[in-house]
């Protein structure tokens, strides 16, 4: 059984702080890694993808991947109340559908 | 580009009734997925199509769920008969290739009473 584990939270951070979201996965041959944001009552929205070890930055978001430790993280800098949502980690292997974690609920307080 | 279209948005049925959901993926996207998302959980794959062929349906409860993708474009997901535990949001997604991130549709919220 391929597992994707996330702390369900809620993770509460003050406005302007850095939010750090973590994810571990069990399938060592996983090749693609994604972070989705899901607002309450809405469908998931892709915000970041990463395929190689290291960091990938896009605006206020940084994804980090460590395949040796089977660990993916998402950093959100200068967190805003509009970032309050559930963040889903998804892991994929060549040709096959993504396996999602349960998500981490993030609350950014003004 | 137009997004992934799903209908209906909401559906309430009684247990043992049947229901069908429809999905139209982004034009040109060969891969189509149906996911089930129960409240408080992450999406769980039900079935993956590549064009009009099934790639993975290992988690589809085949005694009650069925899905098809005619002509490699639109897809329908059917539940017959529905159970209370089928209450969930059914998400359709598509991608150019499985390695790409998905675009999800707005989902169908099913309530079985």
CA-to-CA distance for A56 and A64, rounded, in angstroms? Answer: 6
What is the reported pLDDT for B96?
Answer: 86
User: Looking at residues B18-33, what average pLDDT do you find?
Assistant: 95
Residue-wise pLDDT tens digits, A77-102: 999 999 999 999 999 987 778 999 99
B56, with CB counted inside 10 A (0-12, 13-18, 19+), is middle
Given an 8 Å threshold on Cβ–Cβ distance, is A98 in contact with B103? no
Q: How confident is the model at residue A38 (pLDDT cuts 50, 70, 90)?
A: very high
Reference B36, options B25, B45, B26, B24; nearest CA is B45
pLDDT band (50, 70, 90) for residue B97: confident
Nearest to residue B64, comparing CAs of B42, B35, B86, B44?
Answer: B86
Contact B98 A44 (CB under 8 A): no
Measured in residues, chain A has a length of 110
Sequence-ordered list of residues with C-beta below 8 angstroms from that of A83, at least 6 positions apart, any chain: A19, A76, A106, A108
Running DSSP on this structure, what letter comes out for residue A82? G
Contacts of B10 (CB under 8 A, 6+ apart): B108, B109, B111
Secondary structure (3-state) at A76: strand
| Nearest residue in chain A measured CA to CA from B105 | A43
Residue A55 is predicted with a pLDDT of 97
Q: In which residue are the tokens 């769920």 written?
A: B65
pLDDT of residue A71: 96
Mean pLDDT of B82-87: 98
pLDDT at A2: 78
Strands A19-25 and A4-5: antiparallel
| pLDDT tens track for A40-58 | 999 999 999 999 999 999 9
The reply to whether residue A97 touches residue B40, judged by beta carbons under 8 angstroms, is: no
User: pLDDT-based confidence at A1, cuts 50/70/90?
Assistant: low
Nearest to B113, CA basis, from B80, B91, B79, B85: B85
Q: Is residue B44 less than 8 Å (CB to CB) from chain A?
A: yes
Distance from C-alpha of A8 to C-alpha of B98, rounded to nearest angstrom: 27
Contact A49 B45 (CB under 8 A): no
CB environment B28-44: b (16+ within 10 A), e (fewer)? ebebbbbbbbeeeebbe
């Amino acid at each position: 059984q391929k597992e994707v584990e996330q702390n369900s939270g809620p993770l509460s951070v003050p406005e302007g702080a850095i939010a750090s979201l973590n994810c571990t996965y069990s399938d060592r041959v996983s090749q693609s890694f994604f972070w989705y944001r899901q607002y309450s009552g809405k469908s998931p929205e892709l915000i970041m993808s990463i395929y190689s070890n290291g960091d990938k930055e896009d605006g206020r978001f940084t994804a980090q991947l460590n395949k040796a430790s089977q660990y993916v993280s998402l950093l959100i800098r200068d967190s805003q109340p509009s970032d309050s949502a559930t963040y889903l980690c998804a892991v994929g292997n060549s040709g096959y559908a993504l396996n999602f974690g349960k998500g981490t609920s993030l609350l950014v307080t003004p | 580009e137009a997004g992934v279209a799903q209908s209906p948005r909401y559906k309430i049925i009684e247990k043992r009734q049947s229901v069908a959901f429809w999905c139209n993926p982004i034009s040109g996207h060969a891969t189509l997925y149906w996911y089930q998302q129960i409240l408080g959980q992450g999406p769980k794959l039900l079935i993956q199509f590549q064009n009009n062929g099934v790639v993975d349906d290992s988690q589809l409860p085949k005694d009650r769920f069925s899905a098809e993708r005619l002509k490699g474009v639109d897809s329908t997901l059917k539940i017959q008969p529905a159970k209370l535990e089928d209450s969930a949001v059914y998400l359709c997604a598509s991608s150019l290739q499985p390695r790409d991130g998905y675009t999800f549709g707005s989902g169908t919220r099913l309530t079985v009473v």
